[in-house]
Structure 1
Amino acid sequence: MATIKAPALVIHGAEDPLIPMACGQDTALSIANVKYLPIEGMGHDLPPELDPIVIEAICEPTKKSEYGSRSE
């Protein structure tokens, strides 16, 4: 049952040797307002070359607020 109502982002490395993909998917399914972002080629660490993808995913919800969309 999804009890967390705040927007959330679950990022999971598709090649994570420590935490299986099923665990990331289960976490995402447990949150009502979630974006699930599996990243192909990523393991358990977050390499700097993936920073742009992760930063965009983190910032995306802030562009859509209760005050309307932010124009660029």
Structure 2
Amino acid sequence: MAFRSEGDARAWELERGGDPGAIVPVEVLGELSREWYAGRLDDAWRPYSARARQALLREAGLSGEFWELG
């Protein structure tokens, strides 16, 4: 889900008793998606290894148990 701010996400959580999960700025998601999907339309593209995908998350500053691909 997208929220205008972290405060809005927390308010949603309190109102509904749910857990918004990770709260990530849209700028971080944009940069991650550029890297994650880079080259996908190229004929020579091959899927990233699990290690490479984990590195992309780490480089975007996304670490911790929630972001472990396991």
After TM superposition, the score normalised by the length of structure 2 is: 0.30
Larger RCO (CA within 8 A; separation ≥ 6): 1
Which protein is richer in helix relative to its size?
2
After TM superposition, the score normalised by the length of structure 1 is: 0.29
For the pair shown, which has the larger CA radius of gyration, 1 or 2?
2
